[in-house]
Amino acid sequence: MKDLLKDPTLLRTQAYINGEWVDADSGETFPVRNPATQEVLAEVASVGGAETRRAIEAAEVAQKAWAARTAMERSAILRKWNDLILENVEDLAIIMTLEQGKVLAESRGEIVYAASFIEWFAEEGKRVYGDVFPLPQSTSRGVAIRQPVGVVAAVTPWNFPSAMLTRKCGPALAVGCAMVAKPAHETPLSMLALAELADRAGLPAGLLSIVPGAHAKPIGDEMCSNPIVRKFTFTGSTRIGKMLAAQCTETMKRTSMELGGNAPVIVFDDADLDKAAVGAAASKYRNSGQTCICANRILVQEGVYDEFVEKLKGVVGTFKIGDGMDESSTHGPVITRKALEDIKEMVDDAVAHGAEIAAGGDFGAEGEQFIQPTILCNVTDDMRVFKEEIFGPVAPIFKFKTEEEAIAMANDTEFGLAAYLFTRDQGRSWRVSEGIEYGMVGVNEVLISSTFIPFGGIKESGQGREGSSYGVDDYLEMKYICFGDLGA
């Protein structure tokens, strides 16, 4: 793997704790595999609770000194980190594609996206304001200030291994917090490479520690139970998020959770069907369907159903499935063989209940973790693909008759992360956007993610917002101070 990198020193396989690269106390390692080939790329240190505790204790010490610095000083270091990330886009993209599987074009895009959070919050950290309150007594003044919450623990997923770190540590570090982060065991190399660049940028020791591990429980238990940790942030499944949030209640930690989704794309009969098909395909099949905001259910008004299916089939027919390192590939593998088997079970369930495969449906033709982009027609709400998050390149297409029915179908889920709709009717775009229960809505647009927007969901899709000017709020505490005896 190193021979593919311009800077081989970006390939780190040890944990990064208190500014040092260290092995696990036990000496244990775990393999990181290329999902396209099953080749072992590296053996990475597998740490546990003791190493995580030391990282948290180091973070507590480092955070106090960091918080005492001015926002301008913190910003300067973060900007250096941003610059180093952008200078190493190609190497970071290669690392990501090899361990995660997404095609190089998507990996390059994610690295730029990841850097943008560091740049954005390097500036936003300078804009942490307070308020002055009028009080009943003329001899007193009330003020509210915002201070860093302290030590933050983070657990991030494998589907966006770089951006999910920077979207959390960007605001945390910018406002004066410290962070201890655990990467997904499938994709630790991307986060470790970013830590190497943070070290080069001059980030003080202890402010950002990375604790990779094959065994999530001892690391998570320490993060959730340690009273030094004042904030816990997680991106991942709703099931795991609920469990971690419950653990955090014992020490009353603040939490932010970006959890599962079941995103509908609603296509009305007045929509531009060409744009709708391209948009639905872009949302559904991005990263081989492995994103929390990708289209999970495509709801099409019955009068244009058949025409839309044909247009979507035309778009999907241009895709090329293969190894992400091949520049001609448009879509790579799914992350594990188990993931493939889970997706296949959902397709089999739909077919057993009457759904028809309109495109794709081949599993494992290019390798044991590849799935041809699949379209399912004549799908109904009693099938698993209606209720469950597919997290793979399978597009189930449902029919609806009226606007009211579309809204009801879209809301018939415990999730509420992202939703999309295509219509030329401005009144309908407002009615439906306000009527569906989601934290983010795209109208005639599916590329809704950016640094500038408040990313997050409602219902069982989580709590809190990441990115935008609101992104610092979860890393700050508000303190009220009353100044008395100010009379002459």
Structure tokens at 333: 């593998």
Q: Quick one: which of 197, 19, 20 has its CA closest to 95?
A: 197
Q: Of 169, 177, 224, 292, which residue is the catalytic one? A: 292
For the chain, the residue count is 488
User: Which CATH class for the 2-260+461-480 domain?
Assistant: alpha beta
Each residue's pLDDT tens digit, 284-305: 999 999 999 999 999 999 999 9
Beta bridge pairs of residue 394: 374
Each residue's pLDDT tens digit, 422-467: 999 999 999 999 999 999 999 999 999 999 999 999 999 999 999 9
Share of the chain above pLDDT 70, in %: 99
pLDDT band at 416 (very low <50, low <70, confident <90, very high): very high
pLDDT computed for residue 477 by the predictor: 97
Structure tokens at 332: 């790579």
> Could you tell me the pTM of the whole model?
0.96
| Number of neighbouring beta carbons within 10 Å of residue 55 | 31
The reply to whether 2-260+461-480 and 263-412+418-452 are identical in fold is no
Q: Is the pLDDT of residue 367 over 80?
A: no
377 part of the active site: no
pLDDT computed for residue 365 by the predictor: 66
263-412+418-452 maps to which CATH number?
Answer: 3.40.309.10
Q: Is the pLDDT of residue 258 over 80?
A: yes
The mean pLDDT value for 236-260 works out to 97
pLDDT computed for residue 1 by the predictor: 83
pLDDT computed for residue 362 by the predictor: 87
Q: Quick one: which of 349, 347, 344 has its CA closest to 357?
A: 347
What residues contact 408, with CB distance under 8 A and at least 6 apart? none
Domain ranges of the chain: 2-260+461-480, 263-412+418-452
Q: Is the pLDDT of residue 366 over 80?
A: no
Q: Quick one: which of 136, 135, 153 has its CA closest to 144?
A: 135
Each residue's pLDDT tens digit, 121-171: 999 999 999 999 989 998 999 999 999 999 999 999 999 999 999 999 999
pLDDT band at 355 (very low <50, low <70, confident <90, very high): very high
**22, 23, 50, 305, 438 from 26: Cα distances, Å:** 11, 8, 10, 58, 45
Q: Of 196, 258, 460, 466, which residue is the catalytic one? A: 258
Structure tokens at 68: 């005492």
| Number of neighbouring beta carbons within 10 Å of residue 133 | 11
pLDDT band at 364 (very low <50, low <70, confident <90, very high): confident
The mean pLDDT value for 185-208 works out to 98
294 part of the active site: no
